[in-house]
Structure 1
Amino acid sequence: MNETPGAEATYVPRQESPRGQGEELLSAALRYAGERHWDVVPGTWLETGGRTGAPRCSCGDAECHAPGAHPARRDWKAAATASATVVRRLWATHPRAAVLLPTGRTFDVVDVPETAGCLALARLERDGRAPGPVAATPDRRMYFFVLPGATAKAIDGLHALGYASSAALDLAVRGEGDWAAAPPTRFGRSGRAQWVRRPTAARAWLPDVADLIGTLAYACGRERLTARRRP
């Protein structure tokens, strides 16, 4: 992640062409819809203004938890589409809107801390187990894309491993009714979501969460233990 912490008063926004941003987001949305057949929907976007010129979420909430990277409308689930024609029309209204991927349809997402995700990914690939698409967000989370219907299987897998709940591991499954912000969506001042393992023709399939949950749980548990030991 390219994250540059600092006081708001010293923040200098990255100079990007609004037109260029819009073209990049639209291009990504069209790829997800056309190549992957994933439903997409535009979310909020970032606006600049005020004394510092710091980006603000279009939702208008000064305390927004995910500025520029969350649904912009209540009917976002119904508005999600894989039609290129509709995608173009939706982003024509707000070209800099976030690209959101509804979960619980073509895929679910297992959401884990970035450090744990990196450890899990390394172990999976060392063991010769392909993880499928993996994304990272600038709020230091990693998304593992898996087959839909993952929630019940993840719970069963964690119980079998002796964990009472996923909350103790800071692991969550994003399923039906939820969403994930897709690259290159920008999260406020923090940066953009990025692909760690990009969805490609060679990585078009999705793994079953049952094949990953043991490794993800181990990595999350180790991360929690390490965090408790830090001074």
Structure 2
Amino acid sequence: MGFTIVGMRERRTPRAPTRTGRRGAGGSPLDTAVAEYVGLWGWDVTPGAVLVTGQAGCRCSCGRADCPAPGAHPLAPGRLIPAGTPLDEALDAWAEARAAAPGATALLPTGLRFDVLQVPEAVARAALPRLDRLALPLGPVALAPDDRAWFFVAPGIAAQLPSLLRALGWPATPPRLAALGRGAQVPAPPSAVADLGEVVWLRRPDVETAATPPGASPLLGVLATLCRRLAPTG
């Protein structure tokens, strides 16, 4: 079987993966996470390349000497484990990906189920208690070990970011605030980022926030303000 599971399944209410699969009890934390993302949260997962360290330095597991994004892209176009894939099939597809590329990451494609607002770690950590005090709706929040934090928001927001910021009184995008939509992806916890460490959840998903992530406003206003105050340029 290839990496692609044939046929996109109609999205239904996310259901928790059962632990009856033959790899269920002995899998790694990332194996378990992939089954959770596909079966419980209703997200697609793409096996991703990994940065390999050797005598000649670091190289991407894809083998391309001129790789434009070493260790930070899908293994190949179309290699997707779709949301709703049965547990055994999802784990088989993921096991095959890991066998072909040991240490492969699990990437979450943006633009379909959710978009992502990307900010530095300091901004994310300052924003969370403020958002809690304001009782603002909040989706999942992930943190990478290379000073990137991702707020999961409703799909379509990345394309609207400039107009959304203008509506909030921002003529230009604040430093280090970015939005990821169609064609992008983020590594899912607990995937490794190069040799820096693993991606972790600052706020874990739940059934409601995974299925219906919040809109950008007023979350975007809080992040934009904190980016201006806390995020160095560059």
Normalising by structure 2, report the TM-score. 0.75
* Secondary structure of residue in 2 paired with 1:156: helix
Distance 1:102 1:33, change over 3 A: same
**Which of 72, 77, 81 is matched with 1:74 structurally?**
77
**Which of 95, 100, 120 is matched with 2:127 structurally?**
120
Match status 1:171 vs 2:177: yes
CA distance in 2, matches of 1:139, 1:65: 18
**Which of 154, 165, 189 is matched with 1:183 structurally?**
189
Q: Which amino acid aligns with 1:81?
A: P
CA distance in 2, matches of 1:139, 1:107: 22
Q: How does 1:74-113 map to 2 (within 5 A)?
A: 74-76=77-79, 79-82=80-83, 83=85, 84-95=87-98, 96-113=103-120
1:104 Cα offset (Å): 0.9
CA distance in 1, matches of 2:226, 2:67: 30
Distance 1:176 1:86, change over 3 A: farther
1:88 Cα offset (Å): 2.0
* Secondary structure of residue in 2 paired with 1:210: coil
CA distance in 1, matches of 2:69, 2:137: 30
Moved more, 125-134 or 101-110: 125-134
Which 5+ residue runs of structure 1 have no aligned equivalent?
1-20
CA distance in 2, matches of 1:211, 1:62: 43
Counterpart of 1:212? 219
* Secondary structure of residue in 2 paired with 1:105: coil
Kept in 2, the 8 Å contact 1:69–1:186? The answer is no
Which 5+ residue runs of structure 2 have no aligned equivalent?
1-25
* Secondary structure of residue in 1 paired with 2:76: coil
Counterpart of 1:35? 40
Counterpart of 2:143? 136
CA distance in 2, matches of 1:189, 1:63: 20
Q: Which amino acid aligns with 2:82?
A: T
CA distance in 2, matches of 1:134, 1:63: 32
Moved more, 130-139 or 145-154: 145-154
Counterpart of 1:155? 162
1:211 Cα offset (Å): 2.8
Counterpart of 1:60? 63
Counterpart of 2:30? 25
* Secondary structure of residue in 1 paired with 2:213: coil
Distance 1:150 1:202, change over 3 A: closer
1:44 Cα offset (Å): 1.0
CA distance in 2, matches of 1:170, 1:80: 31
Higher helix share: 1
Moved more, 142-151 or 116-125: 116-125
Normalising by structure 1, report the TM-score. 0.76
Give me the CA root mean square deviation. 2.6
1:207 Cα offset (Å): 1.0
* Secondary structure of residue in 2 paired with 1:121: helix
Kept in 1, the 8 Å contact 2:81–2:93? The answer is no
1:124-175 Cα distance to aligned partner (Å, 9 max, x none): 1121224211000011010000111112443222112332332x42211111
Kept in 1, the 8 Å contact 2:38–2:81? The answer is no
